[in-house]
Amino acid sequence: MASKSSGGRVDFPGFFADLVRCETRLYNALNDCLRERHGIVTSQFEFLRFLRDHPGSRVADLAAEFAIGVGATSKGVDRLEKQAWVLRRTNPSDRRSSLLDLTDDGLELVEAAEATFAGTLAELTADILDGPSGLAAVQALSALRSALEHDRIGLPTG
């Protein structure tokens, strides 16, 4: 159920519940669509898209971007590597880490999946987000994310 704010005051627990439930429902819907059409899940798509846009990234770079643990990130990259969508190469400036790049198959997959992702997300949100209140919501979430990232809030501890 959607949160209600009264007297011009934000219902913070309700806002949090709405935010998390929206994210979960959108993530699950995108997951289903990507799995059905491309054989991947949303987390794999996000990793592939990041690596396409940031070639030569390290596992730690992915972990920082998605605010998840390095171990979980490494396992996710292992799965992408096993599918031959990503390859690891030795980091010339630090032999303890690897640099990650998409393979041609990985690039082809992320390009096809991106059209599905964007189209599905637009279908699911356009009726609500089109217009001035939607733009304000998008800008508010972007500002909130920027502030949390700037202050390094919510990073995994392990």
Distance CA 17, CA 13 (A): 6
Class of the domain covering 27-149: mainly alpha
pLDDT tens across 36-87, in order?
999 999 999 999 999 999 999 999 999 999 999 999 999 999 999 999 999 9
Closest by Cα among 80, 77, 73 to 105: 80
Q: What residue type is assigned to position 86 of the chain?
A: V
**pLDDT computed for residue 52 by the predictor:** 98
Domains of the chain, by residue range, sit at: 27-149
Coil, strand or helix: which one is 98? strand
